[in-house]
């Protein structure tokens, strides 16, 4: 149950926070299905820049969207956050490589206009910020998975220079 506090546009609930490079981001805990250790990512020719490939998990191909690289953070990966969102009339599962430990926290979410969200996010990642999480004296940008999925599979992101056809990489 969500308990509203602080007036319109804010509520308290549980979130998963994780690092992409040196920055922390958050997702609503209801979107996160699991955290998994890195495994082979299967790349395909002509994949999109932000779509690294697919991770095979329980027999399903899960797109891997490397936001750390997309935002220019380029850090080593420690885990994948497996998350779900609504996309194109269905549920889309997505793997996001993260560069450190994840935390389950309770905090207050604030839906803010993009101008205010940009104060807590780097210029390249503002597009993906849905609001801000305030917890334990920290303010953490919250990712909008609908925008992330749209970015990862949008045709304008096709990168014909990807020559890793059929190979797995870590």
Q: What three-state secondary structure class fits 65?
A: strand
Per residue in 78-98, pLDDT tens?
899 999 988 778 888 999 999
**Residue length of the chain:** 170
- Tell me the DSSP string of 78-144: -EEEEEEEEETTEEEEEEEEESS--EEEEEEEE---HHHHGGGS-GGGGGGEEEEEEETTEEEEEE-
What per-residue confidence (pLDDT) applies to 50? 73
In the CATH scheme, what is the code of domain 16-169? Answer: 2.40.50.180
Task: Give backbone dihedrals phi and psi of 149, rounded to 5 degrees, phi first.
Answer: -60, -45
Contact 106, 13 (CB under 8 A): yes
Per residue in 141-170, pLDDT tens?
998 888 877 777 654 443 333 333 333 343
pLDDT confidence band for 35 (50 / 70 / 90): very high
User: DSSP class of residue 168?
Assistant: E
- Listed by start position, the domains of the chain span 16-169
- Tell me the DSSP string of 8-62: TTEEEEEEEEEEETTEEEEEEGGGEEEEE----EE--TT-BSSEEEEEEETTEEE
């Amino acid at each position: 149950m969500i308990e509203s506090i602080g007036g319109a546009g804010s509520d308290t609930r549980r979130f998963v926070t994780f690092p992409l490079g040196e920055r922390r981001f958050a997702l609503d805990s209801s979107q996160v299905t699991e955290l998994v250790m890195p495994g082979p990512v299967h790349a395909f020719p002509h994949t999109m820049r932000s779509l690294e490939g697919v991770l095979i998990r329980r027999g399903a191909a899960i797109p891997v969207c490397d936001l750390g690289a997309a935002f220019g953070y380029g850090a080593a990966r420690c885990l994948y956050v497996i998350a779900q969102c609504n996309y194109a009339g269905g549920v889309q599962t997505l793997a996001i490589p993260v560069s450190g430990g994840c935390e389950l926290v309770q905090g207050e979410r604030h839906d803010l206009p993009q101008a205010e969200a940009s104060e807590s996010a780097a210029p390249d990642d503002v597009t993906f910020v849905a609001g801000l999480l305030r917890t334990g004296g920290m303010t953490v940008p919250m990712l909008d998975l609908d925008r992330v999925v749209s970015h990862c599979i949008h045709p304008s992101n096709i990168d014909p220079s990807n020559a890793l056809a059929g190979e797995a990489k870590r």
